[in-house]
Amino acid sequence: MKQFLLVFLGGGFGSILRYYISKNLNAYYSNFYLGTFLVNIIGCLLIGILIGLSLKNNYISENQTLLLATGFCGGFTTFSTFALESNILLKESTLFQTSLYMGLSVAIGILAISLGLWICKML
């Protein structure tokens, strides 16, 4: 039961922060959802660091991993919003702008996770 509560609390805080960031940054560009993009990239970097710390001599505990990686990062990042916004861009923008948003989101997200893991390896 404690594990479910940790995921629940972390997810709630992550969702609130994602909403705040997206609400305030998505309005800056009409053809690029900056808030969602940054939330997903930051979340990828953060989960890379957290998993790296978890794997490195159990630097953070299983409960901390549940709270922060599964809960917070799971609530903070959002694939469904990314997919919805990509669909909207596909209908309202050019194929280039849509491809740029989607390609950068995926490529930089993967690089951010790799960077987070690398940072922990260097510690």
Annotated binding site for Na(+): 74, 77
A 10 A CB-CB count for 81 gives 17
The residue assigned the tokens 């953060």 is 46
Q: How far is CA 43 from the centre of its chain?
A: 3
Q: How far apart are CA 88 and CA 82, in angstroms?
A: 10
Name the helix (H) or strand (E) containing 54: helix 34-55
Q: Write out the binding residues.
A: 74, 77
Reported as type and span, the H/E element at residue 81 is helix 79-92
